Amino acid sequence: MAVRIRVLAAIINKLAARDLERRLEARNAGVSGVQYFVLQTLKHRCRTISDMSREMMLAPATLVPVVDALERKGLVERNRDPHDRRRVPLRLTEDGLATLARMPLVDQQDSLVRSLAEMGNERTVQLWELLHDLVHRMAGRAGRDGGAVEGAHGLAPLEQAETAHGLGAERWPES
């Protein structure tokens, strides 16, 4: 069953990524899917590449060229921490905020949104609760098995992602 769930999760991820890439291209956003998620992550507060690496579960080496490209496009800027010269917090520029304003995180035409609507609210909430429980169990098990799951502010990756995108647990089942 684990293999089947892993395959289904990968398919859902690929379909959602395809929808996002299509929307980004259709709206001439000028950013890739990964660049879009970096912008989303910076939407609510400044973060370092290390912070984003933990929150997005991507290696810093993956994020550096993404951030470099966003900086060249004038969508993010690197700042200096006045208390720690080694820290380089990133923040959105006005153009970065404008790009996000043109591109919502989800769209009513996304296949995931349409499919969840077809399933109905009760089944959608049930699915969310099951997936939420699974992620918490997996993250907790990784921590007990020696994997690093704690990140900034002591939050596990799921809570970090929810916080980064302004989606507390009470807001997830909506769409």
Q: Residue 105: which of 170, 16, 173 has the closest Cα?
A: 16
Please tell me the least confidently modeled range out of 15-29, 94-108, 160-174.
Answer: 160-174
Domain boundary residue, one of 75, 102, 129: 102
Please state, in angstroms and rounded to a whole number, the distance separating the CA atoms of residues 131 and 43: 25
What are the pLDDT digits (tens) for 90-146?
999 999 999 999 888 888 889 999 999 999 999 999 999 999 999 888 887 665 555
Over residues 61-84, the pLDDT tens digits come to 999 999 999 999 999 999 988 888
Q: What would the pLDDT profile of 23-60 be if each residue is shown by its tens digit?
A: 999 888 899 999 999 999 999 899 999 999 988 888 99
Q: Within a domain: residue 1? A: no
Q: What is the reported pTM?
A: 0.74
Give me the domain span that covers residue 131. Answer: 120-174
12 in any annotated domain: no
Q: Please, are residues 103 and 36 in contact by the beta-carbon 8 Å criterion?
A: yes
Domain count, the chain: 2
Q: Is residue 2 part of a domain?
A: no
* Number of residues assigned to the chain: 175
Q: Residue 116 in contact with residue 109, Cβ under 8 Å?
A: no
CATH number for the domain harbouring residue 65: 1.10.10.10
127 found inside a domain: yes
